[in-house]
Structure 1
């Protein structure tokens, strides 16, 4: 299960009378990010931030680029710089959780996921058209909103890594109840129930995940749920 990070992929309006504006360098960086040219994107984001020291999108995207290049600590530094002047930015808090999770610092990951869930940008999820998770932005800064089910999902994984199985089950169910990442949710629930020595619920969860095509779930079924009989 790969983590996803939130960044800005839209262009900003160019400032008039400045052909080398912060926005222009940001827009160039966005194009480069789409081609996965992260080092080149960082070059332009550096200039954008020099020209506009509170450029939220630029800090967020530079943190993402650094993370994609394996510089997790550098990514964390950029997200924290953004939070220094926009303390409840949902995207930055969520991405911090992801970076700490990748560093196997699950306690800090849980802390930042929890902070993200407390922001207005954590949109309450519901099942929308087509059975997919949806949400309604009510904040004036709606550009920084994301579905809370996505945050619950990642925090659930962090709780699972910390062997806090009941909390993991709660979070993963919050994701599952709005049809977010169903296959992965059932698999993770199976692991959490195994941790609680609840083989019945674990196997039921692995079966549901396997039916949705999860190969790991099939392996877990063979390992934990299919009774082996001794040959005569």
Structure 2
């Protein structure tokens, strides 16, 4: 925080200058010269004024030199340098008649100080605003980063807490909403996840996401609804996701699982074929196996269960025990 310059400039008490008023009469035929005493008084007055102004000038120069170390902005230093130079230029001149000029110089220096203090106030205000912003921003950033770190480590409940703290001061951050929704899904909080996905959908087109695609948002909401057995509401959402992006295996997988639950087994097999062609995953093999069982294709079903087990789906071995021995 910069400090304001508080100055005091004690002007010297100038000796009062007496004006000699001379009233005389004359005629064209007679000239009456001034006396020596009168001439001496006038000279003494000019000498006193010269000495007083000389001291005034020295005090002004000293004042400027004392001010300069307290000023950090170049534009104001240049203005002070100019006033100092002007004083130096008249130093050997007729200072007896420089009273008005010296007073103008003093006022100019006072104006420089005033302008500088205004500038400092502005800088302090901007600095405080920036500091508050950075403090808030750093706080938000730390909560978001901590949440993401916890999410990566599988500590979903703590991640949700940190994301929530971030959103208290950044409630329209859809990236954080998306990450929190994913953590809620992992914790089985499907209604909470759907609520976050709905907030993101409300802001679709108004914000630019960095960590998600809108097709994923629609898919993930649909998958939460599948988990809640709300298949009727889920189907148009996953269809919308596929209209937006047909390149993601997990979207085909979502619809394939949904089709299995509503008894559309051939459609389920078809969608799981598509998902597996893009990227093999345990869930696709598992639900394709279940659909093949319903279609009385036991050999294909057992092969799918075996592959699902290899990829980490433990429930597949239960199906093998029941149906493939």
Which TM-score applies when normalising by structure 2? 0.48
- Rounded to whole Å, the distance in 2 between the matches of 1:67 and 1:81 is 16
Quote the residue 2:302 is aligned against: 203
Quote the residue 1:175 is aligned against: 275
Note the aligned Cα RMSD (angstroms): 2.9
- Rounded to whole Å, the distance in 1 between the matches of 2:138 and 2:223 is 27
1:194–1:202 contact (8 Å) kept in structure 2:
yes
Quote the residue 1:221 is aligned against: 320
Shift in alpha-carbon separation, 1:47–1:66, aligned structure 2, 3 A: farther
Q: How does 1:60-209 map to 2 (within 5 A)?
A: 60-68=178-186, 70-86=188-204, 89-119=214-244, 122=245, 124=247, 148-181=248-281, 183-209=282-308
Q: Deviation at 1:191?
A: 0.7
Shift in alpha-carbon separation, 1:107–1:28, aligned structure 2, 3 A: same
- Rounded to whole Å, the distance in 2 between the matches of 1:72 and 1:212 is 25
Runs of 5+ in structure 2 lacking a partner?
1-128, 206-212
2:177–2:200 contact (8 Å) kept in structure 1:
yes
Q: Deviation at 1:56?
A: 2.3
Does 1:45 pair with 2:177? no
Runs of 5+ in structure 1 lacking a partner?
1-15, 125-147, 227-232
**What do residues 76-108 of structure 1 show as CA deviations (whole Å, max 9, x unaligned)?**
122112112216822321221122122221232
Relative contact order (C-alpha < 8 Å, sep 6+): which is higher? 1
Quote the residue 1:28 is aligned against: 143
- Rounded to whole Å, the distance in 2 between the matches of 1:47 and 1:168 is 43
- 19-28 vs 109-118, which moves further: 19-28
2:249–2:279 contact (8 Å) kept in structure 1:
no
| Secondary structure of the corresponding residue to residue 278 of structure 2 | coil
1:175–1:185 contact (8 Å) kept in structure 2:
yes
Q: Deviation at 1:217?
A: 3.3
- Rounded to whole Å, the distance in 2 between the matches of 1:163 and 1:208 is 23
**What do residues 99-140 of structure 1 show as CA deviations (whole Å, max 9, x unaligned)?**
212222123233222211111xx362xxxxxxxxxxxxxxxx
Q: Deviation at 1:197?
A: 2.4
Quote the residue 1:144 is aligned against: none
Q: Deviation at 1:32?
A: 2.4
Give aligned pairs, total.
181
1:26–1:48 contact (8 Å) kept in structure 2:
no
2:249–2:278 contact (8 Å) kept in structure 1:
yes
- Rounded to whole Å, the distance in 1 between the matches of 2:324 and 2:183 is 42
1:48–1:58 contact (8 Å) kept in structure 2:
no
Which TM-score applies when normalising by structure 1? 0.65
- Rounded to whole Å, the distance in 1 between the matches of 2:166 and 2:311 is 43
Greater share of helix: 2
Instruction: Tell me which structure has the larger Cα radius of gyration.
Output: 2
